[in-house]
A and B are shown apart, each in its own frame.
Chain A
Amino acid sequence: MLQPITTVHYLVLSASLLLIGTIGVLTRRNIVIILMSIELILNAVNINLIAFSQHLQNMGGQIFTIFVITDAVAEAAVGLGILIALFRNKETVLADQIDLLKW
């Protein structure tokens, strides 16, 4: 039968999710999807925090998860605001076509 789930299972899952998010940030060209990949990375962090909060019976992990979610909300709001401003000026959402600061 299947083995019981330990904290390490959660850590491996969180590492895999972090990996997928990182690949999304590094390889996609569409900025909207890059922002979604950042959400995936933050969720991987949250899984890790919750797993250790349960492992050590310490509430600090869950509190920090709340703060991470707060940060994710702020980041999404500001990031999408920047994206709208950018789209109005450059008519593109592809990351490698936005090269105003490039020589």
Chain B
Amino acid sequence: MDTAFFYFFALLVLGGAILTITRRSAIHSAICLIVSLVGVAGLYLLQKAEFLFAVQIILYIGGIMVLFLFVIMLVNLDEQAKERQFHGQWWIALACVAVVGAQVFFFIRKGSAAFQLGKPADTAPTAGNTEMIADVLFSEYLLPFEIASLLLLVAVVGSVVMAKKRI
């Protein structure tokens, strides 16, 4: 059952991503990106990261994508959608495809046993996911957490300064 769900979500993620970078209209791209992000959220759920599943839905889809849609609405993209959409840089893209394609081909040929990862841990989780995240976040990672709040403050001030016509 997990296998079927994995392939379903993988299809959502990759299909949405490919449509995102190939659509002509920015609105269509944004909607395909939402599909892709929902797929990523489903993968979080399969990996038993329930808290991050909720964060992904609320922050990414509810926050960032609405921001994107607002900006697409503000900047007028209609004339520019009629123009050429791609650079003439296909050789760089082809090089990327070759590298990762070789890796994926190797995986399909040899199966997952060919990759040497660390030994999987066999300890079961001791508490709920959210509880464990809070435990680690507010003890071991407290300083990075505070720095992240500073980053958000800088981003808020910076984006207002950027977007406003006259301060």
Contacts and interface: CB of A to CB of B under 8 A. Distances in A.
Nearest to B33: A36
B93 A23 contact: yes
Contact of A7 (B117, B133, B156, B159): B117
Contact of A77 (B26, B118, B155): B155
Contacts of B160: 81
A40 B20 CA distance: 9
Contacts of A57: 120-121, 123, 125
Interface centre among A50, A58, A83, A96 (most CB of B within 10 A): A50
B36 A40 contact: yes
Given A19-B96, A50-B52, A74 B151 contact: yes
Where chain A touches its partner, the secondary structure class is helix
A22 B100 CA distance: 11
Interface of B: 2-4, 6-7, 10, 13-14, 17-18, 20-21, 26, 29-30, 33, 36-37, 40, 43-44, 46-49, 51-52, 55-56, 59-60, 63-64, 67-68, 71-72, 74-75, 77, 80, 83-87, 89-90, 92-93, 96-97, 100, 103-104, 107, 111-112, 115, 117-118, 120-121, 123, 125, 129, 132-133, 135-137, 141, 144, 148, 151-152, 154-156, 158-163, 165
